[in-house]
Structure formats: C-alpha cells, structure tokens
Structure 1
Amino acid sequence: MLLNQLSNALDRAFGADVPKRIGVAVSGGGDSMALLDLLRQWGRAEVAVVSVNHGLRPEASDELALVAAYAAQHGLTHEVLQWTWHGVGNLQNAARDARRQAIVAWAKDHGLHHVALGHTQDDQAETFLMRLSRGSGVDGLACMSPVRERDGLTWLRPVLEVTRADLRKHLRENDIHWAEDPSNEDTRFDRVKARQMFETLAPLGLTVERLTQAAAHMRRQQDVLQWAERQIGALFEQDAVGDMVANRVAFDAAPEALRSKALVAALCEVSGQSYPPRYRPLLAAIKSKTPSPLHGCLILPSEKQLRVTREWAAVRDENTPVGAVWDRRWRLDCQAETPAASLKIKALGQEGLAKIPNWRDTGHARQSLWATPAVWQGDTLIAAPLAGLTEGWTAQLLRT
C-alpha cells in the first residue's frame, strides 16, 4: 500500500523521465528511515543517502549510525555532512538553512538533480496550523508542495500524503530500527505545540486529514493567484542598484491579494530571505504613505512608484574582503590594478554618501545608495561604483 502511494507520487513527479539516481536526506528518524526503505524497494532509481549532523545533541551520532548501518546492509552510498552553529540568530532557522545549503552542495558535487525528503501528512497539518496561528494568507497556508524547484535542485516529498503512524507501522513490519528525536516532545517549539493540539481539535473535525485537505485547497487557490499575476505582468522590476520598483498606479489598481504577493516577492528578492514577513506589518506597509522598514528592507512609497530597497541597518555590519560576495548578492571588482589586501567591502552609509558630491547624478534615492556596497580602507572611502564614485571599480548584481 505505502509502496504504491510512493510510486504514484514519483510517477506524478517524474512522468516518463525517471532519473538514474536520486538523493534522499535521512536523519535516522522514523519518517526519513521509512522513506529510505520505500525508495530502495521502489528500485527504479539508484539511491544516494545523505545525513546532516548539526552537532547539537550527543545522540545524533548514534542516530546517524542507524542510517549508516542500513545503507551498508543494502549496499547504498551514505555521506554525513557536518555543521556547527555559531550562536547567531534563530537556531531552528539557522539549522534548517544550513541543512538545505549543505545538501545542495552535496547533490551538485555528486551530479544529483533530485533529493527526496521525508515530510508527511502530519508535517503538512502541523505547518498549516502554525501558519494559521500567524495569520498567513493563501501562500502560507498552501504549505508544502510534493515537488519544488529550488537552488538548482528538484526537491521531492513522495510521502507527503502518508501519515507518520503508517510509516512507523511499515518500519515495525520490516524490522527496521529508527530513532526518536527528544526535541519532538519539547514544547518550547511551536511545531510540538501544534502536534499536541490535534487531540484537542479532533472532536471539532479539525483532524490531520481535514487540515491537509484545507492546505490542498489553498494550494489550488495559490495556482489561481499565480496565474492572475502572470496575466497582469510583473508589478516590480529590478533597477541598477538592486531595488525592486513598481509603478504606483499599476500597483494600486491590482487586487489586494496580488499587491501583497508581489510585495512579498520583492522583499524576498532584495533581502535574500526565503520566508515572507508577517501579514499584519506587510499590510501596514502597503497602506503606509511614509517609508516602512520591513524584512531587512525599506519600502519607499511615492505618488509615481513603490520602491523596495535594502535597509542600511540590515547591512551596516556586513564586512567582506574584496572578491567575496557582499550581502549575498554583490561582487565588486577593480579593473585598474590588483587591490590592496587591506581594502574591505562595506555599506556606503550616510557618511560615505556625504563624501560623494555628485551622487544625485546617478538618479538613485539616497536611502537606496546608503545600503549599496563600497570599498573602504579603514575609515577612508575608496570607491562606491553604484553611487558614482567608480575609481576603476565595478559592481555586479549576482542574485536576480
């Protein structure tokens, strides 16, 4: 039964073009171990196994040993990737982003184009409930997709319609060992709180199945919104300093759902963040007649346009050597000579802009230029190519 469900899901994902090899991310937990076994039994593609050790719990090594033992027993390749948290930012978000980036690098190194993840129907329902509590709209409530293109990979969730209980039943029937992560019972985490709410909500009819059905409805509505967005064309265009700019008349004429969707996309493009801002501050920013900081960006409204620029406060501590990527999207190069090792790339800021008397000739807003990259030697401004002080330097926007 489960094997048929997985096979049907992969048939929908691949069609007739089944790859020779696919990757699968396995933590040693019940969901991913069951996925691994089902993929092996499916047998239409060679399976390469990857695990990420976040180094946060001593038990992790034992859990990954279960994965290694299974892989060795069935002649599968298995690689463990290491990650260390440096104590900056939100731990869960940092771990999730680092895991994805590590898996992307691993897949590309091994020539893999598809990676399977063990998300289940329960995960879908929990995500729906968490996002509902945050006031998410259609995009948020649509939750997870069975197939998603990101970072140059196709991410597969072939057991997204399978319950966690059914996967564990499969493991017991096949005498496969798995580990239970103790953090799954830690009520400090919102996902655990959501999971524990199901027993309370079930008498109201809000079961895992009903919530995933609602998520599926939202995904269909998301398709309608995306279709409508294509019909009216992209509301925002990117300019030379990396800002996203919309014609104010066209923006205001669009339905509210399309305005919020377009603004979220612009904010994520400029900030580089994967997840959207909360809905309430987003709605306030749309209605505001004055500049609004949001999501690491600054939204600048005027009668003619709506501009989304990088917020200077979000990049003021960005300090990279010449040749490195600054703010994950800019690279500065010197065309004249080999730059000195003492040079650093930092935000131009108000003080830097004040050193460039002809910056207005660029036609860019001062707030936009504050958050652009500049070349500094200590406190001395050497170049700011986007603000008109080139001195043989060029700026290349890498993320578009």
Structure 2
Amino acid sequence: MSDLRDRFDSAITALLPDPPHALGLAVSGGGDSMALLHLASQWATAHGCALHVATVDHGLRPEARAECAMVARRCAGLSVPHDILPWAWDGRGNLQDRARQARLDLLRGWAQARGINHIALGHTRDDQAETLLMRLKRGSGVDGLAAMAPARHDGGLTWLRPLLDLRRSALRDDLHGIGWDWAEDASNADTSYERVRIRQAIDALGLDVDRLADTAAHMAAARAVLDHAAAQAAQTVVVQDHGDLVFDRTRLAALPADTRERLVAAGLCWVGQSPYRPRLIALRAALESARATLHGCLLVQTRDSLRLCREWNAVADLSAPAPGPWDGRWQIEGPAETGLLTRPLGTDGAALTDRASWLVPRDSVLASPAIWQEDRLIAAPLAGFNPEFRAKCRALPPDWPAPDHAH
C-alpha cells in the first residue's frame, strides 16, 4: 500500500470510524476530486461501503459536458453510480457565490434523495494555505484565519474533507501512476479570480504551503479556546424567550470584546437561521445602536437587556403548510385542515389580537408564526390567539454557542 493511500485511509477512518452503508463523493473531474475518487474507491471496497458520485454541471463552460462524461466513464469502470446535477445561472448576484451555493444545494438534495448522510469533498492542504492568505488579505480575525474543518455537520448531512493533509502535487502524481486523466479548468489560470492570484503569489514568493496550512491549524486551535470561553459565558448571560434570545446587558458588557461579539454573532445566526456570522464591522455598528437590523434579525437594547428577535421583513414572504415546521426553528402543532399555511403574523394580523395576551414584545410578535387560511387569521400562538394551535421553538442546545464552523 502506498504512503498516500495509507495517509488517506487514516484520515477518512478518523472521520468515519464506523463506515456508513453509503458515501457520496463530489467529483468535478479536476485532479483533486479525481484523486479523491480513486482513493475513496479503494477504501470503500475494503470497508464494504457503497460509493455514489455526483458531478455538478454549472453550464458555464463548453468543456463541462466532456468533463462530466469523463467522470462518468471512470465511475462506470469502478461500478460506481454517477449522477450529473445541472445548474443554470439566472444572471443575478455574484456568479462565484451563486455557483458555490447552488453546488451545495444540489449535492444536499442529491444526498437526501439517495439516503446518503456523508459527502466527501476534494479540498487539499494547498486549499488551506490559499484560503488563509485570501482571508488575511481581507483582514480576517482568528475565526476567518482558522483552518477548514475536516468535517462539518449540516442538518442530517455531514461534509467531509479527507484530503486536507495531502498536497495537490502528490495527488496528481498518484493519478499519473495509475494512468488516470483529469480536467484542467481554464479558470485556474484566470487571474481575474482571487484564488488564482493567491496561488500564483505563493509560487512567486516561494511561500511554504505546509507552514501556511500549519498556521491555519494554530488559528483553529485558538478559535476553539475562544469558543469555549463563549460557551461558558452563555450560561449566565443569555436566556431564550420563545423564539428570541435575551442578553443581560450588564453581564454582556463585562465580558472581553471577543467573547461578547462571539455570543451576539452566534445569537444572530441562531435566530436568523444563517450558517455564517455577520461581518464584524456590521456587528459592532449594530451593538452601538439602541435598535438595529442585521442578519435577518432585529436587535433591541434597553437599559437592562439586549433582545434578538426575527426581523419581520426577513420572513414576510416565508410560508409553509400548517401544521408542520416553519423558519427552521419552529414546529407548529394543531388540527390539520385544508389550505392552512404558517406565515408571519405581521401588522395586519397583530391588529386582530389582544395585546394583553402577547407572550413577547411587539417586534417579536410581528415576526412570529401565525396560521392563516388565505387571508383569514386562524391562530397566532405567541399573540395568544386560538389555543388550538401551538408554536414550539427549538431549544438552544446545552453547549450553545459551540459552533459547527462552515468554512
């Protein structure tokens, strides 16, 4: 067994000590993901794990179809099922950001449809180094400079990065050794992309990729210490009030700045249902104001407290069949009738309720879940309207705000 295969097997076994019945792979056709396919196929055969491969075709390059076909041929040779997931950009927003989010969404849906709980990605040690420099260039703090995590939980799905300790060059040497081709995306030489410029700068300046990746690992260790401090502080600083988080302002102000900002940022992510923290400059500006909107949330400060609630505008168009889940954190319970939808209560709905029965302040009530039948208000649990329906908000986990870092 080669040293590369030994290292890969050790890495993926650490991530999956009990091999699942199936493992998904995201394979674009580039050198990193093709090496992932080769190494993972050997590991899966040895551990009785069924591989499933998906290739996302963003429809942006004429070569993409041929690259998808190349991956399909390799998968057929390994008797591994392969699916092509097409996407078409509608021209709105930042292309790279939209393509990245679409890729994750497509892979997530693909995995769910096939009963797959783990998807392995092809990020390497070189990617760690490049990401560190990109974020350093943007002035990121400890969190931004911390290494990508080998595993990230995303609901019922776990994203794995078993190649993080392997160099890109070693993976290509492995492909050369077995006679496998791979696709070289022309955009990898396009200096209009920041990552390409960073990659070229690493070569031009003779920077050591391993040292850069080690620095990212040191930052991840430092981040873990800061996260632990925030989790300890949360036990006495914040309480949950239905769907809101309420911070004791005196205790919050007494915390070190990093702990204070880490707690509020985590609160915004939880209330606003976002996996990513707000930008630090925006967070600090919001904390300087008595009332501010940020990250799909409303921050309201009084003399004694800071309350984070959902911003009504952020959920104004959000609806779901009732009873059932709504806005990620809520579960609506009650009798099932045809045509019932959960939508935010809003100002019109609030006007139909008795303010004396409200369980939370007005801002929170407006964004709270209400049950509607077309334009007729059926129930508003947090406004005390119609007790036949209940709205239960998911509780903060005991170790909150222990994060599952997304980058």
TM-score range, shorter chain: 0.7 to 0.9
Distance 1:394 1:52, change over 3 A: farther
Is residue 24–residue 54 contact of structure 2 (8 Å, CA) maintained in 1?
no
Distance 1:382 1:148, change over 3 A: closer
* Partner in structure 1 of residue 141 of structure 2: 137
* Partner in structure 2 of residue 389 of structure 1: 385
Is residue 330–residue 397 contact of structure 1 (8 Å, CA) maintained in 2?
yes
For the pair 1:169 / 2:173, whether they are aligned, the reply is yes
**In 2, Cα distance between equivalents of 1:391 and 1:82:** 46
Q: Cα RMSD over matched residues? A: 2.9
Is residue 128–residue 148 contact of structure 2 (8 Å, CA) maintained in 1?
yes
Distance 1:238 1:60, change over 3 A: farther
**In 1, Cα distance between equivalents of 2:372 and 2:143:** 41
* Partner in structure 2 of residue 215 of structure 1: 216
Is residue 48–residue 76 contact of structure 1 (8 Å, CA) maintained in 2?
yes
Instruction: Please list, as runs of the form range in 1=range in 2, the aligned pairs for 1:262-341 lying within 5 A after superposition.
Output: 262-286=263-287, 288-322=288-322, 325-332=325-332, 334-335=334-335, 338-339=337-338, 341=339
* Partner in structure 2 of residue 352 of structure 1: 349
> Per-residue deviation at 1:315?
2.0
41-50 or 123-132: which moved more? 41-50
> Per-residue deviation at 1:372?
1.8
- After superposition, give the CA deviation of every residue in 1:213-237 in whole Å (9 maximum; x if it has no partner): 2111101111212332343444434
**In 2, Cα distance between equivalents of 1:182 and 1:297:** 41
TM-score between the two structures when normalised by the length of structure 1: 0.85
Is residue 332–residue 396 contact of structure 1 (8 Å, CA) maintained in 2?
yes
Structure 1, gaps ≥5 residues long: none
Instruction: Please list, as runs of the form range in 1=range in 2, the aligned pairs for 1:237-276 lying within 5 A after superposition.
Output: 237-240=239-242, 242-276=243-277
Aligned-partner residue type, residue 59 of structure 1: E
Aligned-partner residue type, residue 374 of structure 1: A
> Per-residue deviation at 1:323?
5.1
**In 2, Cα distance between equivalents of 1:308 and 1:285:** 11
Instruction: Please list, as runs of the form range in 1=range in 2, the aligned pairs for 1:138-157 lying within 5 A after superposition.
Output: 138-157=142-161
> Per-residue deviation at 1:160?
0.8
- After superposition, give the CA deviation of every residue in 1:125-170 in whole Å (9 maximum; x if it has no partner): 2222232233332222113112333322333212112222222222
* Partner in structure 1 of residue 78 of structure 2: 74
TM-score between the two structures when normalised by the length of structure 2: 0.84
- After superposition, give the CA deviation of every residue in 1:302-342 in whole Å (9 maximum; x if it has no partner): 2322221111222223344545754344454552x624x3x
Is residue 329–residue 397 contact of structure 1 (8 Å, CA) maintained in 2?
yes
> Per-residue deviation at 1:29?
1.4
* Partner in structure 1 of residue 33 of structure 2: 32
Distance 1:272 1:134, change over 3 A: farther
Is residue 26–residue 36 contact of structure 1 (8 Å, CA) maintained in 2?
yes
* Partner in structure 1 of residue 399 of structure 2: none
Distance 1:182 1:49, change over 3 A: farther
* Partner in structure 2 of residue 369 of structure 1: 365
Is residue 52–residue 99 contact of structure 1 (8 Å, CA) maintained in 2?
no
SS at match of 1:49: strand
Aligned-partner residue type, residue 387 of structure 1: A
> Per-residue deviation at 1:19?
4.3
**In 2, Cα distance between equivalents of 1:256 and 1:49:** 46
129-138 or 208-217: which moved more? 129-138
Is residue 53–residue 80 contact of structure 2 (8 Å, CA) maintained in 1?
no
Is residue 53–residue 60 contact of structure 1 (8 Å, CA) maintained in 2?
no
**In 2, Cα distance between equivalents of 1:55 and 1:63:** 12
Distance 1:152 1:225, change over 3 A: same
Is residue 289–residue 302 contact of structure 1 (8 Å, CA) maintained in 2?
no
Q: Identify the match of residue 50 of structure 1 among 49, 53, 73.
A: 53
> Per-residue deviation at 1:28?
1.2
**In 2, Cα distance between equivalents of 1:47 and 1:321:** 36
**In 2, Cα distance between equivalents of 1:79 and 1:47:** 15
Aligned-partner residue type, residue 188 of structure 2: N
**In 2, Cα distance between equivalents of 1:49 and 1:207:** 35
Instruction: Please list, as runs of the form range in 1=range in 2, the aligned pairs for 1:85-164 lying within 5 A after superposition.
Output: 85=89, 89-164=93-168
Distance 1:20 1:325, change over 3 A: closer
SS at match of 2:46: coil
Is residue 319–residue 343 contact of structure 2 (8 Å, CA) maintained in 1?
yes
Is residue 51–residue 80 contact of structure 1 (8 Å, CA) maintained in 2?
yes
SS at match of 2:224: helix
- After superposition, give the CA deviation of every residue in 1:16-56 in whole Å (9 maximum; x if it has no partner): x4445432221111110011112223443335132143442
Aligned length: 390
Is residue 54–residue 83 contact of structure 1 (8 Å, CA) maintained in 2?
yes
115-124 or 177-186: which moved more? 177-186
Instruction: Please list, as runs of the form range in 1=range in 2, the aligned pairs for 1:7-18 lying within 5 A after superposition.
Output: 7-15=9-17, 17-18=18-19
Distance 1:51 1:366, change over 3 A: same
SS at match of 1:309: strand
Is residue 362–residue 387 contact of structure 1 (8 Å, CA) maintained in 2?
yes
**In 2, Cα distance between equivalents of 1:119 and 1:207:** 18
